[in-house]
Amino acid sequence: MACKPLSRQIAVLVVAAFCVRAEARVVRFVVEQTRIFADGISFGAVGQYQRLDGTAYMEVDPADPLNAVIVNLDKAPRNDRGMVELSSPFFILKPL
């Protein structure tokens, strides 16, 4: 049967209806550590991977209506541009 079950379609619509959208802008990536991934194991034709660990620095506009869903954003300290700054750790796997 080519059609998806009706229950799956309803679930997708419910999730889409409750999706909350907010917007952040990445202003800087800082790579703090690089290392060989998985003890240098080669992954097929791609070969070895390197792992980059660091911090992503972002900012959000507290006046943007899309960000109104972020609790207490209006109470957070702002930078010189009137934005609220935040950061998050990241890691990237990069083929060597």
pLDDT beyond 60 at 61: yes
Number of structural domains the chain divides into: 1
Q: Please answer whether residues 27 and 56 qualify as being in contact, where contact means their C-beta atoms are separated by less than 8 angstroms.
A: no
d(CA 50, CA 8): 39
- 8 assigned to some structural domain: no
- 12 assigned to some structural domain: no
- 48 assigned to some structural domain: yes
- 72 assigned to some structural domain: yes
d(CA 52, CA 85): 23
Residue 36, domain extent: 20-95
d(CA 29, CA 26): 8
7-51 pLDDT per residue, tens? 565 666 555 555 556 778 899 999 999 999 999 999 999 999 999
- 64 assigned to some structural domain: yes
- 11 assigned to some structural domain: no
| Greater model confidence, 17 or 87 | 87
Report the helix count and the strand count for the chain, using DSSP H and E. Answer: 1, 3
- 83 assigned to some structural domain: yes
| Greater model confidence, 3 or 66 | 66
Q: What percent of the chain has pLDDT over 90?
A: 69
Q: Which amino acid is at 24?
A: A
pLDDT beyond 80 at 57: yes
